Amino acid sequence: MAKTLSTMHLPIGEEAPSFILPSTNGYGEVNLKDLNAEGYLIAFWCNHCPFVKHIATAFVEMIKHYQQKGIEVIVISSNDVSEYPEDRPEKMTEAAQYWGFTFPYLYDESQDIAKKYYAACTPDFFLFDKDKKLFYRGQMDSSRPGNDRPSTGSDLKQAIDHLLAKKPLLEKFTPSMGCNIKWKKGNEPKF
């Protein structure tokens, strides 16, 4: 299992790149500009990645709590589905149902949104404040497939709690780690 560390990033305070993307799980087309929330958690994700599968259940359970506090959650897949058919939109629909998503699972076919966010791996997390300014970018927690640490969501929980309490984060961010985004041939980012 190849690991990619997410090291390029939007600067803290940068506005969330806008997007309009189709949902694969019944939320229709989602336009980031139309959303109004206390904060926005955008995660780059895919169906087949062992890192995603490892945290999926814990992530979904953790997120339900924060959705009740006004955090809008959006999950995006940008993988090349011609080379990775398990990430096709119909498979995304199945995965969202299997994992019990209570938020949109969007498909970034052009991969333009992943590039705008400097997303490098799955999962890759971006937390924005109510003004859609980047507050946190990093790992959910230190759990990885095979390291025997439980997935608690500790890093992401701390970031969301600080955001909701309007407190700055005190600790250095640990980058996300996972499978690289599966770029279409010739579409690899230059960052």
Q: Does the pLDDT of residue 181 top 80, yes or no?
A: yes
Q: Does the pLDDT of residue 116 top 80, yes or no?
A: yes
The residue that leads in pLDDT, 169 or 164, is 164
Q: Could you give the angle at the alpha carbon of 19 between the alpha carbons of 90 and 96, nearest 5°?
A: 30
pLDDT per position as a tens digit, 21-67? 999 999 999 999 999 999 999 999 999 999 999 999 999 999 999 99
Give just the sign of the alpha carbon dihedral 136, 9, 76, 153: negative
List, in order of start, the domains of the chain with CATH numbers: 4-180 (3.40.30.10)
Nearest to 27 by CA among 95, 101, 80, 77: 101
Nearest to 96 by CA among 39, 166, 26, 31: 26
pTM above 0.85, yes or no: yes
